Structure 1
Amino acid sequence: MTPESFWNYSLNEIIDAMESYARQAKRIRKQKIADDFVLTKALSLNLAAIISGKDDLCNPWDFYPETFRKDKEEYEQQKLEADLAEYREKRRQWAEEFNRRRRGV
């Protein structure tokens, strides 16, 4: 609020502006606390997964499913393609080993 507008406002308008500012500051503070909480939870889950030896780390869509829906679909598609490529490679190696043993080499 500029000094000029302050002097042009009535007492009730000034009180409303101050209350509005207080509500806005409270809303921003709550959002920061919620964001910090989600960050802390994500870090603790990922740290626990790493310590226990799991490859299953949490992702943003675990906390914000609507916001990251497309990212999740892309990730799942890439993971499926990687798993399929890994399966094909293992299958190819198995076939090579099987043929090698069959030939007696």
Structure 2
Amino acid sequence: MRLKINIEGIRFMVTKAHEPKLDHNTKQQKVDKSTGALQWKSQIMALDESGGEILTITTDFEPKVNVGEFVRVDGLVAMPWSTETGSGVAFRAGHIGPLNGSKPAEPGKAA
């Protein structure tokens, strides 16, 4: 289940260089099952009036933003998960980009 997150009043900052999201078994970059796009993970700090929290957010494209840059995150969802060895929450976004810029073209489409 994907749970939409209300991000009103939250600022986001990139805290680590983006990396390919790897499959734990094959060590190959993961591919989105529905779109076929390669997946990337970004470490982002979410800041609000209560402080900051580090999130690892998966996208179907490599974000074109830099460490230390405040960014816009659109379409943020949380996906709770559970296995025999643990549980947690995975985060996914439709877009991570510059605060003052327009959205980049979708992967595979002209800008």
**Normalised TM-score (structure 2):** 0.20
Q: Using CA pairs below 8 Å that are at least 6 residues apart, which structure has the higher relative contact order?
A: 2
- The structure with the greater share of residues assigned to strand is 2
**Normalised TM-score (structure 1):** 0.21
- The structure with the greater share of residues assigned to helix is 1
